[in-house]
Each structure stands twice: as structure tokens, then as C-alpha cells.
């Protein structure tokens, strides 16, 4: 896989470093890499089961991504690091953080991509969680394609129940075809427009099947 054009040495180092570590420990199988747009803006919508989901998604896509991160994390050296990794600070109740969303719209307007977790938080049991309206709002208002991605196995590696990540587990990532605005946006007349758009996007994530790996 050809690496993306990196905006900083920090992003390049972390991208290559994470991919190398995941390759050594988990040998992940990746399906659908051809579905990633070569250029132009998009929203990467992914399930959320583990602490590791952002670096997994980010290090196996041939495009540089932007990310959300809690405002409380932007302190000291770690805060500098995640800033260099294109992280956008957001309040814990992210669906109401207008300042963060303005930054996201700027990112998308400039032709870049952002990772969003439609569930808003990590699953407690490994199953897909209840979808929130945030991704639908971003998608409907920006009218950019949505790239559905599903990670398999990350819950078993490092869920919220585990203090440390497990080793030698199976890991897979499936990337679906982009969802166009006409397919996720029910229109302005729909009173539940954003929530229904989120539901449609989450359904596409749910429909993605694991790559051919044992144990997942």
C-alpha cells in the first residue's frame, strides 16, 4: 500500500510506526482498500470498540486523516503530539460542540478527510452500539461522500475492560464503497434528518463482513 502524502514528519513517523507494530503483533487483513478515494474530501465512518481504533484506521488508509479528541487531552507533550496528528479538540458532549464542527467543515472544504465514530463512544460488549446524530449532521451539512469502515478484533485486543492490550489476536479491517449524499441524506423535509442519515450510514457499516481471517 502506498503511503499518503504526509503533512508533517510526526504524522509520517506515527503512521509508519503504528503500521509496523500492528503488522508484527496482529498481521491484520485489510479488505476493500481500493474503495478509498484517491483525492477529495470524505468522512470515514467507523465502528468503535477499542482504544486502538483510531491508529488502526489511520495507519491502514492511503490518505491522511483528521481526528476528534477530547479537549482534556490537549495538555503538555501529549497534547502537542495529537495536535501534530491532525486532532481537533472537542467537548465530551461532542454533538453540541459547534466550534469543533466549524473546524471539521473547514477540513472537508479543503478536500481532506476526517474519522468519525457514529456510536460516539466505545462499545461495552463488542457489539455495534447505538448510533448518534453527529455523523449524520456532518454528512448532511457538508454533502461529502462517507466511507464506511468496520474493524474486527480490536475489542478482543484492547477494550475498555482491559488495562493493557492483548497480544497475538486476530485483527481485520473492511472498507466499503463510499456512500453518496443521495443515498444517506433523507432531505431537509425529514424532521429526523440527521439521525436518519446516521442510521443509514451505520447500517452500511453493519453490513460489512470481516476479511477471511480465523477467529474473527
Average pLDDT on 14-35 reads 97
Q: What share of the chain is helix, strand, coil (3-state, %, to 5)?
A: 40, 15, 45
Measured CA angle at 200 (ends 183, 198), to 5 deg: 110
Question: For 147-190, how does the pLDDT look when each residue is reduced to its tens digit (9 = 90+)?
Answer: 999 999 999 999 988 889 998 789 999 999 999 999 999 999 99
Question: For 64-119, how does the pLDDT look when each residue is reduced to its tens digit (9 = 90+)?
Answer: 999 999 999 999 999 999 999 999 999 866 556 888 989 999 999 999 999 999 99
Question: Nearest CA to 53 among 1, 126, 112, 4?
Answer: 126
The structural domains of the chain, ordered by start, are 31-207 (3.40.1130.10)
Amino acid at each position: 500500500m502506498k503511503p499518503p502524502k504526509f503533512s508533517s514528519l510526526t504524522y509520517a513517523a506515527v503512521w509508519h510506526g503504528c503500521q509496523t507494530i500492528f503488522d508484527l503483533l496482529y498481521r491484520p487483513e485489510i479488505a476493500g482498500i481500493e474503495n478509498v478515494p484517491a483525492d477529495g474530501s470524505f468522512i470515514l465512518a467507523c465502528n468503535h470498540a477499542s482504544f486502538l481504533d483510531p491508529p488502526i484506521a489511520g495507519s491502514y488508509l492511503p490518505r491522511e486523516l483528521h481526528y476528534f479528541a477530547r479537549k482534556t487531552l490537549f495538555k503538555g507533550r501529549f497534547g502537542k503530539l495529537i495536535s501534530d496528528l491532525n486532532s481537533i479538540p472537542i467537548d465530551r458532549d461532542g454533538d453540541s460542540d459547534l466550534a469543533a464542527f466549524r473546524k471539521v467543515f473547514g477540513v472537508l472544504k479543503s478536500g481532506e478527510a476526517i474519522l468519525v465514530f457514529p456510536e460516539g463512544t466505545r462499545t461495552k460488549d463488542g457489539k455495534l452500539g447505538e448510533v448518534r446524530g453527529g455523523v449524520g449532521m456532518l454528512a448532511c451539512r457538508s454533502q461529502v461522500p462517507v466511507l464506511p469502515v468496520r474493524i474486527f478484533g480490536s475489542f478482543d485486543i484492547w477494550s475498555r475492560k482491559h488495562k493493557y492490550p492483548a497480544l497475538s489476536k486476530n485483527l481485520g479491517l473492511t472498507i466499503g464503497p463510499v456512500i453518496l449524499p443521495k443515498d444517506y441524506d433523507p432531505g431537509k423535509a425529514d424532521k429526523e434528518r440527521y439521525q436518519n442519515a446516521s442510521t443509514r450510514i451505520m447500517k452500511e457499516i453493519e453490513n460489512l463482513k470481516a476479511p477471511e481471517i480465523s477467529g474473527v
